[in-house]
Amino acid sequence: MLEIVVIGIGTGNPEHMTVEGIGALNAADLVLIPRKGAAKADLADLRRAICERFLENPATRIVEFDMPVRDAAGGYRAGVDAWHREIAARYRRLLEPETGRAALLVWGDPSLYDSTLRILDLLAADGLAFARRVVPGITSLQVLAARHAIPLNAIGGAVEITTGRRLAEGRARAGATAETTAVLLDGDGAFRAIDPEGVTIYWGAYLGMPDEILVAGPLAEVAGRIAETRAAARAANGWIMDAYLLRRG
């Protein structure tokens, strides 16, 4: 039976690869590398660099494919669901003839705001027979805390993990249910809309990569600088991945 191995590869530094991840990569018969267009070529380049550095099995095949683009014209959830179905269909065409082990290299860790495991659920529901294995990776939140040399949580405190969309909608507010709010997938700078009183922000972009950028300080003082830095970096690189912590008190 086909086995699909989902390997967390960290956030942009090949040295984030774990020993378990390297072993799983070398045990694979096939490695799939998604391409997301010229603007995000760095993401495919990192996966290629990981294979070049760590893959020692000459029998392992590397197959690249073009990832579908999400249609943002309709509602968010409907667009995401349709996009996931397109990706699942593409995976099926690539994997249906296969036996042995196929590896999918996932940015960060497969458990944190990544849809690969849900897409595999769609594949299974569509009748593709396979076993699955997940190899954990280093998350952006781990790297963010390490780069700022801070613990993720306050003493005995809770951490809320949410998205920029939910923060903007008011479903998650810094200090509402946790001393620390970790925010991912914030394309519009939702941190600028919350009450900055008593809030410190720890922000990072391109974590683990050569272009890594870090800013920290009272939210009232650095929110504008983060927004300007983020816009300039996105314009220069064509894409951006960032994350931040909001800590009250």
pLDDT digits (tens, 9 = 90+) for 31-43: 999 998 877 788 8
Please indicate, yes or no, whether residues 43 and 152 belong to a single structural domain of this protein: no
CA distances from 193 to 107, 141, 188, 198, 199 (A): 29, 22, 10, 14, 12
Query: Which of the four pLDDT bands, split at 50, 70 and 90, describes residue 175?
Result: very low
Please indicate, yes or no, whether residues 146 and 125 belong to a single structural domain of this protein: no
Among 135, 153, 183, identify where a domain stops. 135
Please indicate, yes or no, whether residues 120 and 226 belong to a single structural domain of this protein: no
Please indicate, yes or no, whether residues 51 and 28 belong to a single structural domain of this protein: yes
DSSP state of 241: -
**pLDDT given for residue 176 in this prediction:** 52
10 Å CB burial of residue 8 (0-12, 13-18, 19+) is buried
10 Å CB burial of residue 233 (0-12, 13-18, 19+) is middle
Average pLDDT, the chain: 92
Give the number of domains in the chain. 2
Please indicate, yes or no, whether residues 79 and 198 belong to a single structural domain of this protein: no
What's the CA angle centered on 111, arms 179 and 37, to 5 degrees? 110
Q: Does residue 171 register a pLDDT over 60?
A: no
Please indicate, yes or no, whether residues 113 and 170 belong to a single structural domain of this protein: no
CATH number at residue 202: 3.30.950.10
**Residue 151, Cβ neighbours under 10 Å: how many?**
11
Identify the weakest region by mean pLDDT among 42-46, 165-169, 177-181, 240-244. Answer: 177-181
First to last CA, the chain: 53
Residue 235 token pair: 């314009």
**pLDDT given for residue 112 in this prediction:** 95
d(CA 184, CA 113): 8
Provide, for the chain, the percentages of residues in helix, strand and coil under a 3-state DSSP scheme, each rounded to the nearest 5: 40, 25, 35
The 10s digit of each residue's pLDDT in 183-238 is: 999 989 999 988 999 999 999 999 999 999 999 999 999 999 999 999 999 999 88
**pLDDT given for residue 75 in this prediction:** 78
Among 135, 169, 189, identify where a domain stops. 135
The 10s digit of each residue's pLDDT in 60-93 is: 999 999 998 887 777 788 888 999 999 999 999 9
Q: CA nearest 17: which of 84, 90, 91, 105? A: 105
Residue 200's domain comprises 140-248
Please indicate, yes or no, whether residues 127 and 227 belong to a single structural domain of this protein: no
CA distances from 111 to 7, 26, 138, 219 (A): 11, 22, 11, 29
pTM of the entire predicted model: 0.91
Q: Does residue 174 register a pLDDT over 90?
A: no
